Structure 1
Amino acid sequence: MAVTQQEIENRLWDAADELRVAMPEAQYSSVVFPLMFWKYLSDTWEYHHQEFLAENEGLDNLSAEEAHEIEYRDYQSFEIPFIYPGTVQQRRASWSSILTTIAHPGLGQRVRTALQAIETANPAKFSRLFGSMTWAAEEVLSGEVLAAVMQAMDRTPKMHEGNMSHDVLGGAYEYLLKRFSDGSGTRAGQFFTPREVVELIVEILDPKGYESVYDPTCGSGGMLIASANLLKAHSKRGYTLKLYGQEAVPDTAGVARMNLFMHNLTQFQVEVGDTLKDPRFKKPDGSVAQFDVILANPPYSLKWKPWTNDPRAIGGVAPQPSADWAFVQHMIASMDPKKGRAGVVLPHGVLFRGGQEAAIRQRILDDDLLEAVIGLPSNLFYSTAIPTAILVFRARETKAPERQGGVLFIDASKRFTKAKNRNVLTAPDIADMVTAYHSKFDADGHLVDPDGFGGLTARFVPKTEIVASGYDLNIGRYVKQAAAESEDLGTLIDAYNLARAEREKTEARMLAVLADAGIEGFDE
């Protein structure tokens, strides 16, 4: 009997819910994902091990070494080794083996030892996969709670290809990511971008088979997976993509690797490190590696240590209080010169802030690298309620002829549906934005056929007009909503909140500078 998507999701959530007595929901992922992936590996290994035994009954005369060679050559794609070898405690580092010991003291240590043994036995595939595993310590998670989680998860149907498809497995992983994000507040933004935003960026960048796809701030790997899923949805081979990601938080990088494996994507490389300070993908000459498709949702307005001498800094260096444009510069440097394209989600401030950011913006526009700016609704993300925009870039001189020398502006700020905790984009919203992005425009830059784009307006703006506006990219300067829409209370409130947030941020910076100078009392 086939396993249903809902069945596995319900069982996995039951396991996660056992953690409620031990930790806040925001921390569930650090425990549940390693355990879930361990069970998946163990179930898969045992499934193929039984195949090996059933198909090789006449090999009893083989030595253990010979049998091992045949099994791992013809049946297994990874190894589940033994732990505590040569002692009375020797046992395989599998889920089922450790599960038989849950009533004995030291369960957390045995789990940690088993996971570390799997990493060590498969360095090319699983190195650093399970993260720091601090949750395995008794003082963090008691043996009783860990045992309850494992017992609940063991009621999940066997996670191997003979029992459920990778679509079901990947869907269950995505379900947990979303469920944890819905319940964890702002922390969710560190590793999870709403799937409809990811889908929109991927649809616009349109990765092709055998291309390379790179996410410099990959979080849980959702953008990389969505790229492969798009090809699969179009009856093409998503597994042919070469996927690359970098993530600053080691545990989150582990979540990304597990997520990719769960989706049956094995042609990937996820590295750990600060992309701005230490980009891990490089050419032999030391310059950053280049890719066909680059997509990202980097941390907004991140304080950083500005570059002093870095070839990525075209147009100048982004200011210390905000690395937004530094991430853009890195992505531009990472675009393949012949067909590279990039899409990034950023706050509206990058469109109009002055100083060093204005100088960078001017250089990028003068080089004709920016193809489109798509204004999204507010409150789409778990980590912030402010409205954001997608900026789309193309490698130098690779824009379509009709798109050269200008920028396409799309205002989709009205296209959303209210949900419990945030606004969401529906399939028709995404389809209309993608259609507008691909549409043709008249001599004034307006859509030739605007029918069917309710609540969405677009215009192609020549560079001369942008230069006349001081290289300001504020969407409202070029794309006007209908008067009745643009003046509604919700829009005014959004604008006020955005302005207030920017003012408060500026005041905080000023007070910090004054405090460093020994001047106090301004915030009283």
Structure 2
Amino acid sequence: MAKKKKAAKKKKTTKAKKELTTTERLKQFENELWKAACKLWTNTRLKPSEYKIPVLALIFLRFADQKFERVAKELEGGSSRRREPGPNDYKARGCVYLAPEARWDYLKSLPEGDNVGAEINKAMELIMTHNEDLKGVLPKTFNRFQSGVLLDLMRVFNTSEELGGDTFGRIYEFFMSEFEKDSGQKGGEFFTPPSLVHLITEIIEPYHGKIYDPACGSGGMFVSSAKFVEAHQKRPSEEIAAFGQERIAETIRIAKMNLAISGFSGSIKDANSYYDDEHGAVGKFDFVMANPPFNAKSVDYSKLKDDKRRLPYGLPTADNANYVWIQLFLTSLNENGKAGFVMASSAADAASSELEIRKQMIKSGVVRCIIYVAPDFFYTVNAPATLWFLDKNPTRMNKDEILFIDASQLFSQIAPGLREFTEEQIQTITSVVKLAEGKSLDVVNDKVARLFPDGKYIDVLGFCKKASLSDVEKKGWTLHPPRYVGLAPAKNNRTDSVSTICKRISDNLLRFQQARENVLSEIKQIQASATDAPRSEYDKVRLGEVASYVARGISPKYDEESPVRVINQKCIRNHWVDLSLSRGNIKKVTEEKWLRKWDVVINSTGVGTLGRVAQLVFEPENLTADSHVSIVRPGPEVDPIYFGAVCVLNERYFEASGQGSTGQTELSRDRIKDALLYLPPLEVQKSIGNTIEAMWEAEKELRVLLEDIPALKDLIVPSMMEGSIQYPNANFSSQSKLQNCDSVVRDA
């Protein structure tokens, strides 16, 4: 019996030592390197900012030496020449040339009594001398470190593993995030997760041409493009050219190291892409690939207001640069160009001026695909993201359609708080895009074969949908994929659907929190503005002085089959317009009675509903009001959102202004025009309008969030009653209900 237990224990131990995945080995390698780097903190007086680049340069040298060794063997085995291969021979094979005194084995074998720092400095100088692209890039400050510390560090870095891909960039990002945690700064602006880069590359397909990244960071997009070209049996140096801009000098150095390791050179300029265009980018590039900083603030719009070439749709009014970046990407494409980039998920349905920019882009037919990605793909950012794909060539896909993919259920959990796409998941998503473009597939995995059995694209509920531009318009020009693809049907395993809904609730909470932050930001701004313009200085005007149109609606002829809709008193409630209660109309409508965005509608007859006010905050189509409703249109001298808000504040006045006998009470046009309004300066009106619009956005996100709560209740309560779901902690607090809900789902 004891022997059996011992054998079982041995078997279990063997099973535990399973082969690690590339990602797991990389994570293990990162942790070992970081522990070694921490010795510098302990054994020197240097700050992390002072030893960061030297540490990364040593990692660079180790990776470069591995490739040099491999290429040297290839040249030795395949050469019949009498001379020794030189720097140009190595460069032709995409390899950094290393002189004997710059080789890894030479340096790590130096006696501790030697001046190891001085020898490494010489090695860095030799590398820059023989490799023009690295001139001025590598540090020569190793003499500041003790020889023993450097040799210890090199021994840890002396891994024989070649982990592939953008490993150097990944390790760089890990080191950056750790360095910045220690210095209390925010990281994550420089590096895009490898699986996202790989997905963008596979969809963009940069076979040949000029590639531009105006936020290039450590150069991961370029490296991925080079790997893509190599995978198709071509040399990157002959097929593609890289152009980048980066505003942080030390990150440029890292990018150039990264490209050099990958056998790929590029022109990376030290520039701030908001204000500088060092490459003359407008209309120049075949491909744009980027991961800009999310929701960047404090961009100086005064420097950009006249830049119509790079920002043809204008500047956003919000202190958020997402739509500055999106326009920079779009305008950098030539007439056949394609762009793929990472973007904050909040940009997909941002309101106000950002909505107007997005609407113009959608109408122009350049938006081809939006992919929604789950949270936790980034080291330092846990919010969900979207991948945007733009295309200037209308022949590749119907420009009147946009492909939406909700990939939030596709991921591999590689560590707590960190996810990635597997190769199979990348292939699945890429296959959907190719099928939507009418292409055939060379390789079909099981999931793709199951979803598209005929090898043709079809919409898949909960996963993908091709939406017409008219569909997008009806949904208020949002580009948020879950709004289009819907919720996947429940499987036999009930907890799968519960998990899906919990995930949506979690994601929508993040979006609501972002909207809430926008509200708070706007409130701070309006508080400052209001101080400069106290109410005593506001102009007192009558509504009729600033409204361009005040009149009742039409007397409709109803036909429920008609696409022309008429709103009535029932549609106006809680300061919103509910179109589900509108009716069809076949009577002719004059131009001024078609409802427009920002029109205010006021119930003007009856008892109980008279005086109710709402504003149309969307772009209506084929919509008018009946004769029981007054249409009030703001004039050009007033901010339309502010105008709507003061009309709502006057609701009590409108309710009290009805005239006539019981059952015949009416609100006349003159009484509406007599409403007293306080008007601050226009800039204050606009600031108030921005605050109100941010509140609308938060309310909209909360409504979406609340739509899923009843569905979750309907699914999970029966399982609780049946006893098939057991609570891990019956006394959990209200603050942790959502997290415990996730635990319940996993346990079930």
What secondary structure is seen at the aligned counterpart in 1 of 2:275?
coil
Opposite residue 458 of structure 1, the aligned amino acid is C
Q: What is aligned with 2:329? A: 331
Q: Deviations along 1:15-71, whole A, 9 cap, x unmatched?
A: 6532213349987863332123345668959x98xx99xx9xx99xxxxxxx9xx96
Report the secondary structure of 2:334's partner residue: coil
Contact 2:236 2:264 in 1 (8 A): no
1:370-409 counterparts in 2 under 5 A?
A: 370-395=367-392, 398-400=393-395, 403-409=398-404
- Alpha-carbon distance change, 238 to 168 in structure 1, aligned in 2, over 3 angstroms: farther
1-structure distance, mates of 2:396, 2:127: 53
Report the CA distance between 1:180 and its aligned residue: 3.9
> Residue by residue, what CA displacement relative to the aligned partner does 1:166-186 show, whole Å, maximum 9, x if unpaired?
x76767535634754786779
8 A contact 1:19–1:145 mirrored in 2: no
Matched ranges for 1:238-317 at <5 A: 238-239=236-237, 240-263=239-262, 265-282=263-280, 288=282, 290-303=284-297, 304-306=299-301, 307-310=304-307, 311-317=309-315
Q: Structure 2 CA distance, aligned partners of 1:41 and 1:401?
A: 39
Q: Higher mean Cα deviation, 448-457 or 183-192?
A: 448-457
Contact 2:219 2:255 in 1 (8 A): yes
Q: CA deviation at 1:505?
A: 4.0
- By how many angstroms is 1:274 displaced? 1.3
Counterpart of 2:37 (choices 19, 24, 32) is 19
Describe the superposition over 1:307-356 as per-residue Cα deviations: whole angstroms up to 9, x where unpaired: 1211111211134621111111111111121x200011111221211222
TM-score normalised to the size of structure 2? 0.53
Unaligned ranges ≥5, structure 1:
60-66, 82-90, 158-163, 520-524
* Deviates further, 468-477 or 374-383: 468-477
351-360 vs 23-32, which deviates more? 23-32
Say which SS state the counterpart of residue 408 (structure 2) adopts.
Answer: coil
Q: Secondary structure at the match of 1:146?
A: helix
Pairwise CA distance, 1:191: 2.6
The alpha-carbon distance between structure 1 residues 441 and 36, as it changes in their structure 2 partners (threshold 3 A), is closer
Does the CA-based 8 Å contact 1:169-1:262 persist in structure 2? no
How far residue 392 of structure 1 moved from its aligned partner, in angstroms, is: 0.7
Residue 212 of structure 2, aligned match among 193, 211, 214: 214
Q: CA 1:320/1:499 → structure 2, altered by over 3 Å: closer, same or farther?
A: closer
Whole-angstrom CA distance in 1 between matches of 2:312 and 2:88: 50
Worse overlay, 169-178 or 190-199: 169-178
SS in 2 for 1:419: strand
Match of 1:357 among 354, 359, 379: 354
Match of 1:191 in 2: 190
User: In the TM superposition, what are the counterparts of 1:104-503 in structure 2 within 5 Å?
Assistant: 111=120, 115=124, 118-119=127-128, 121=129, 124-130=132-138, 136=142, 138=144, 144-150=148-154, 152-153=156-157, 155=158, 173=168, 176-177=171-172, 180=175, 189-208=188-207, 210-239=208-237, 240-263=239-262, 265-282=263-280, 288=282, 290-303=284-297, 304-306=299-301, 307-310=304-307, 311-319=309-317, 321-337=319-335, 339-395=336-392, 398-400=393-395, 403-420=398-415, 421-440=417-436, 450-451=451-452, 456-482=462-488, 484=490, 485=497, 488-503=501-516
Distance 1:392 1:406, change over 3 A: same
> Are 1:411 and 1:475, in contact at CA under 8 Å, matched by a contact in 2?
yes
Q: Per the alignment, in what secondary structure is the counterpart of residue 285 of structure 2?
A: coil
What CA distance in whole angstroms lies between the structure 1 residues aligned with 2:259 and 2:396? 37
For residues 226-270 of structure 1, give each alpha carbon's deviation from its aligned partner in whole angstroms, at most 9, with x where no partner exists: 11222333444444322222222222222221122212x234222
Contact 1:315/1:360 (<8 A) preserved: yes
CA distance in 2, matches of 1:454, 1:11: 40
- Aligned-partner residue type, residue 348 of structure 1: S
Q: Radius of gyration: which is bigger?
A: 2
- Structure 2 residue runs of 5 or longer lacking an equivalent are 1-21, 439-447, 454-458, 491-496, 533-748
Q: TM-score, normalised by structure 1?
A: 0.74
Query: Which amino acid in 2 is paired with 1:277?
Result: Y
- CA drift of 1:206 comes to 1.1
1:151-205 Cα deviation digits (max 9, x unpaired): 544x456xxxxxx9xx767675356347547867795523321111111111111
Q: 1:101 to 1:350 in 2, by over 3 A?
A: same
CA drift at 1:508: 3.6
CA contact (8 A) 2:403 2:436 kept: no
Q: CA deviation at 1:143?
A: 5.7
The one-letter code matched in structure 1 to 2:245 is Q
Q: Figure out how many residues of one structure are paired with residues of the other and give that number.
A: 465
Identity of aligned residues (%): 21
